[in-house]
Structure 1
Amino acid sequence: MTAWLSVLVPLLVMFFALGMERVESRLRDATVPQDELDEMLERPRPEEVRAMFKQGTARALELFRLRNRRPGKRKPEAQSKIAS
């Protein structure tokens, strides 16, 4: 009986670890890049803050991305290079 447990327990732990690795890889792909989230939180607009509290981070980031994609609007990096 002890011999079976000494073989079975490590196998169960190994299969559990492999399963958790698959779950973690799916979660890693679905996460938001840290630099994009930091940039949004540095200069939030009222509609982005409202969306974050009412609908979650995904909707707030969507609004942030739309704001940054507007034509004629320069990125902050481009403005700082021009000002220098």
Structure 2
Amino acid sequence: MVALIVILFPPMVIAFLLVMERVEEPLRRPTSPREVAEFLQSATPGEVDTLAASGIRRAMARWRRRRRSRVQKSTEPLV
């Protein structure tokens, strides 16, 4: 049992670190001035409330999700 833990622990730690790297990467990316200008022009009242309550990171994340879902809907093929 101990040998199994000794063998599996290092790969599990490495896998965890790789997953956390992917999670943290978008958090380290700064918001560009162009994105802020686009946000201020097209933000919904809910996104502006999020900006006031939670800050620019959470508001930009909400805005990006909305934009991404809008782009995905517009690129769906018409059957």
Taking structure 2 as the reference length, the TM-score comes to: 0.52
Say which one has the larger Rg.
Answer: 1
- The 5 Å alignment of 1:1-84 reads 30-70=29-69, 71-73=72-74
Unaligned 5+ segments in structure 1 are: 1-28, 75-84
Sequence identity percentage: 26
Q: TM (normalized to structure 1)?
A: 0.49
Q: Which runs of 4+ in 1 moved over 3 A?
A: none
Unaligned runs of 5+ in 2: 1-27
Number of residue-to-residue matches in the alignment: 46
* Residues 23-64 of structure 1 deviation map (CA, whole Å, 9 limit, x = unaligned): xxxxxx653111111000011101110100000000110011
RMSD: 1.7
Higher relative contact order (Cα pairs below 8 Å, separated by 6+ residues):
2
- Cα distance change, pair 44–30 in 1 and its aligned pair in 2 (3 A): same
One-letter amino acid of the counterpart of residue 59, structure 1: R
